[in-house]
Structure 1
Amino acid sequence: MDPEKPAARDELVSPPVEQPQDARSRKEPRLDPHGLPLVPQPTEHRDDPLNWHPALKLSIALQVSWLALLGPFASAVANPAFVLMAKSFQQGVVETSYELTLYLVFAGIGPLLIVPLARQYGRRPVYLAGNLLAAVTSIAAGYCETWAGIMVTRVFNGLGGGSVMAMGAAVICDLYFQHQRGVFMGIYTLCLTSGAHFAPLVGGFVANSLGWRACFYIPGYIQLGTFVLSVFCLPETLYSEGREEPYREQSYVQNISFTRSRVPAGLPRIRDFVRPFEMLRLLPILLPAILYMTCFGYGTVLFALTGAQLFTSIYGFTTPQTGLMLSIPLLIGGLIGELSAGWVTDWLSNRHAQKNNGERLPEARLNAIWGALLVPVGIIIEGVCLSHPETAHWVGSAFGMGIANMGLQITTTTIYAYATDCYKPQSVEISTIFNAFRQIFSCLISFYALPFAERIGIQYAWLTLALIVVVLLVPVLMLKVYGSRWRTLPSQTPPEQAEDHR
């Protein structure tokens, strides 16, 4: 590789030969508010996203978080209307829920093929194209007259919405230093998990007042409006120092255009599309991904997929009441969970660095992973309440759902922050892997949750699912103790080491 041709911060290439006389190695490192060297070290250029004004950074973080919220929101608005949709198409509620299942499958698979393009062409084109595709197909679903038409639109809706959801972690890493990422990663993950919780709050009343079709085209129009806003307000965050001499800083207009020269040139390689699969051999990625997908599936999707039928048959809820039940407890639990997650992981990381001569150990963040135990606690509470409606009020079920989602939010933020600390140059692949695991695992729940509960009873079925979460937490706790040692093993080296211009 030409040494005068700098690489993008996230571009994966062979390890560079050490050059101790490099002028950059003689610079005094810039320090964070704690007096420790910033990680990564920013360049001296104003168009480096790490050097952007905090207000601009925050606006971008909020935009990508909002986009992450819209995908699950659009997919789940129709959940409280499953009973109405089933009557309209003369089929069962379980069969109707398969439209959500299909969305989840393609929202998990699609980004594996699409998101690698964000490394080569930038984050912005993928965000815009994905959101536009999701908006158009969501609107189209509302006007479909056949069940087959709805299923087809959900395939493409999953491809677009999943691609948008899967890139937020990479953008947060583009914008923020390691000591800041926990807070802003938390904002992103809170929106990522809460989108599906806002949806029933809206969907129940929309379906009851305007019909189930409005549950598709109203979110679609919201996504379309967001697309227009993103065209002017969402700049590119993938950064390279450029190839021209002398260096020319990029303006904001260039950052929102498709002529920006800070993005790597050339066509993507086949390796770019298989790299996420190669990273599955890395224990700091694989073990947290398995725990995360299980907590997400049983800490929120389980309630969404079974709530319409269980709350209607057990408590006699109407469609709006079901929407409230599937929304408010989860929203409150997620918010409380995040208040105990993002800033806490930053504090844990900074405390470790201050005590160890500036060393920022990713495993320090895992001290917060104990919050994952709230997921099985909440699942068990809901299962017991649903099994004894004559003595347990529906408030108990709501309380269990809130506790489970509190644990899910703590788990999500901690795992995203930990994994991107371990392998920051591979943040695109990490986000894609987590998204694929979460979506594919969640879609399978609709096939066995209710049949399993009918066979052995809700209480024991939910207890079994809770125990699965507890068992899968153990390997991640082992990472907290042995992770730093495991990451030094030859088998745990990333597929290709990134050459970072920092």
Structure 2
Amino acid sequence: MDPEKIELSQVETVADTANGLESKRSVALDNHGLPLVPQPTAYKDDPLNWHPALKLAVTLQASWLALLGPMGAAAPNPAFVLMSEAFSMSVVEISYELTIFLVFAGIGPLLTSPFANGYGRRPIYLVGNLVAAVTNVAAGYCDSWAGIMVTRAFNGLGAGATIAMGAATICDLYFVHQRGVYMGIYTLFLTNGAHLAPLLGGFVANSLGWRACFFIPGYIQLGTFVVTLFCLPETLYSSAEDGAETTTPHRDQTYWENLLFKRSRVPGQPPRLQDFIRPFKMLKCVAILFPATLYMTCFGYGSVLFALTGAKLFTHLYGFTTPQTGLMLSIPLLIGCLIGEASAGWVTDWMSNRHARKNNGERLPEARLNAIWGTLLIPIGLIVEGVCLSHANTVGWIGAAFGMGIANLGLQIATTVIYAYTTDCYKPQSAEISTILNVFRQIFSCLISFYALPFGERVGIQYAWLTFALIIVVLLLPVLMLRISGRRWRSHPSQVPVAPRS
């Protein structure tokens, strides 16, 4: 029998004696006999009540879209040397095309999140992916560097909008005790889009030229648009009517009505000016600010740093060809992330469930932070790679690859834990949380291209990478404090954000 059906069939009757009333309410329980969080409605079209297969299909589509954006952005990375020859520019100058993508990928969700909260996730997924596809293809036809930069800017806007919707979609579909696993699937795709790209881009650039590094991701995105047009339903669902006096009985909406934007349970409210700055208002909450600050450095130094510096360093130090550079910037990172996720999502769910069983069903978000110690693998990996690169005359490339793999093992753990923890803390603001995490990640990552290599050339790679490692360690300390005092801090009136309109 399906596990989720078992959960929803277990109902506990609870006496409500507030104000002297003796009314009763039904509470849906999970398979451990604990109350489900959040409580589902009684309607079949509530995404929490969807069939598990449909939920998984939506999760995989949202995750795939989160992978495509970074993959399309990073596919040209191994071809930076070829592009520098084509445009008569330095490799560092060529890397700015990735920088401009990162900037606008951070801006995109700020513009689209209010529309997603008002009109649904589906329109943003469709339009954002279509814009990213068209601009990737257009970049392949550009003969001027200005054209490349303009298309990368619009590509960032489109791809960034789809990337930022994933965490909110997971929260729409799953109960708190399930989110670690499925948030882990989403973050695994999100993190590894940029790691798959060099594997594709290295061989494509060597065989078909640098333009194909833009064409191929673009056509993949166009194919994905066709699939999601028919297979990705709306997940935003307003329960504002529940318990209200209505003269019209509820009618469950069909799958096709959902695809045709006819869902009556989506708020459908036009955004107001203040909605566009709502994500930044979340920064008053330390349970968002501390993890977001840690996450941006983890992602920047644990992933983007390798992508931005790898083409030059491995070509110069080890004489790598373009395909070899692509393999180096892909395989170690993919292996590290896969091992990391095997130690993250389900582990945080287990920690959350264990705390709930011992504390009368209380779902404490901070219980997930017991796994945040895995973040320390990022600075360890950075130090290993930095030392190996600084002694390239005596240490082979395998040492640097080993360090990159260790760093990404820690990165995947940190990413899953931070996404699961922050959305557990403030589920109604999941779209804003995902947006602010995306903004921090993208803006910080784009800045690395301006100082990483110059700093390394000035003080030495091993000391530069050591500095980056220490920054991560320092920013981990406030998150560790959240594990101890997070519940108390979140209960303070100043830490309660205003929920989005529904």
TM-score over 0.5 for the pair: yes
Alignment equivalent of 1:426, drawn from 419, 425, 429: 429
SS, match of residue 27 in structure 2: coil
Distance in 2 (alpha carbons) for counterparts of 1:362 and 1:278: 20
Bigger RCO (CA 8 Å, 6+ sep): 1
Change (3 A) 1:45 1:24: farther
The answer for unaligned runs of 5 or more in structure 1 is 1-17
Distance in 2 (alpha carbons) for counterparts of 1:462 and 1:119: 40
Question: Partner amino acid for 1:277?
Answer: F
Alignment equivalent of 1:49, drawn from 41, 47, 50: 47
Please state if 1:379 is matched with 2:379: no
Alignment equivalent of 1:392, drawn from 389, 392, 395: 395
- TM superposition shift of 1:499: 8.2
Q: Deviations over 1:112-141 (max 9, x none)?
A: 111221000000001100000000000000
Distance in 1 (alpha carbons) for counterparts of 2:52 and 2:76: 37
- TM superposition shift of 1:491: 1.4
Distance in 2 (alpha carbons) for counterparts of 1:382 and 1:308: 15
Question: Partner amino acid for 1:65?
Answer: S
The answer on whether the counterparts of 2:117 and 2:500 sit within 8 Å (CA) in structure 1 is no
- TM superposition shift of 1:240: 2.2
Match of 2:347 in 1: 344
What does 1:102-501 align with in structure 2 at a 5 Å threshold? Answer: 102-241=100-239, 245-494=248-497, 496-497=498-499
- TM superposition shift of 1:389: 1.1
Distance in 1 (alpha carbons) for counterparts of 2:74 and 2:185: 20
Distance in 1 (alpha carbons) for counterparts of 2:152 and 2:247: 44
Distance in 2 (alpha carbons) for counterparts of 1:186 and 1:209: 35
Q: Deviations over 1:446-480 (max 9, x none)?
A: 00000000000001110011000000000000000
Distance in 2 (alpha carbons) for counterparts of 1:125 and 1:24: 45
The answer on whether the counterparts of 2:375 and 2:410 sit within 8 Å (CA) in structure 1 is yes
Change (3 A) 1:218 1:357: same
Question: Partner amino acid for 2:34?
Answer: L
SS, match of residue 349 in structure 2: helix
- TM superposition shift of 1:427: 0.1
Q: Deviations over 1:56-100 (max 9, x none)?
A: 000000000000000000000000000000000000000000000
Q: Deviations over 1:162-197 (max 9, x none)?
A: 000001000000000000000000000000000000
Distance in 1 (alpha carbons) for counterparts of 2:442 and 2:501: 31
- TM superposition shift of 1:110: 1.7
Distance in 2 (alpha carbons) for counterparts of 1:437 and 1:445: 13
What does 1:80-95 align with in structure 2 at a 5 Å threshold? Answer: 80-95=78-93
Question: Partner amino acid for 2:270?
Answer: L
- TM superposition shift of 1:265: 2.6
SS, match of residue 179 in structure 1: helix
Question: Partner amino acid for 1:252?
Answer: Y
- TM superposition shift of 1:25: 7.7
The answer on whether the counterparts of 2:177 and 2:349 sit within 8 Å (CA) in structure 1 is yes
What does 1:20-39 align with in structure 2 at a 5 Å threshold? Answer: 26-39=24-37
Q: Deviations over 1:138-157 (max 9, x none)?
A: 00000001000000000100
Question: Partner amino acid for 1:107?
Answer: A
SS, match of residue 277 in structure 2: helix
Question: Partner amino acid for 1:288?
Answer: P
Structure 1 runs (4+) deviating above 4 angstroms are 18-21, 241-244
Match of 2:12 in 1: none
Distance in 1 (alpha carbons) for counterparts of 2:255 and 2:100: 39
The answer on whether the counterparts of 2:429 and 2:499 sit within 8 Å (CA) in structure 1 is no
Q: Deviations over 1:392-416 (max 9, x none)?
A: 1100000000000010000000000
The answer on whether the counterparts of 2:165 and 2:431 sit within 8 Å (CA) in structure 1 is yes
- TM superposition shift of 1:498: 6.0
Q: Deviations over 1:307-353 (max 9, x none)?
A: 00000000000000000000000000000000000000000000000
Distance in 1 (alpha carbons) for counterparts of 2:305 and 2:83: 20
More displaced stretch, 319-328 vs 237-246: 237-246
Distance in 2 (alpha carbons) for counterparts of 1:457 and 1:478: 33
Distance in 1 (alpha carbons) for counterparts of 2:268 and 2:338: 41
Change (3 A) 1:76 1:461: same
Match of 2:3 in 1: none
Match of 2:7 in 1: none
Distance in 1 (alpha carbons) for counterparts of 2:23 and 2:200: 54
Distance in 1 (alpha carbons) for counterparts of 2:355 and 2:191: 29
- TM superposition shift of 1:497: 3.8
- TM superposition shift of 1:26: 2.9
More displaced stretch, 415-424 vs 270-279: 270-279
SS, match of residue 40 in structure 1: coil
Distance in 1 (alpha carbons) for counterparts of 2:101 and 2:472: 24
Two-structure CA RMSD over aligned residues (Å) = 1.7
Question: Partner amino acid for 2:360?
Answer: N
TM-score (ref. length: structure 2): 0.94
Match of 1:8 in 2: none
Equivalent residue pairs, number: 482
Please state if 1:66 is matched with 2:69: no
Change (3 A) 1:499 1:19: farther
Distance in 2 (alpha carbons) for counterparts of 1:474 and 1:197: 28
Change (3 A) 1:480 1:25: farther
Distance in 2 (alpha carbons) for counterparts of 1:75 and 1:498: 31
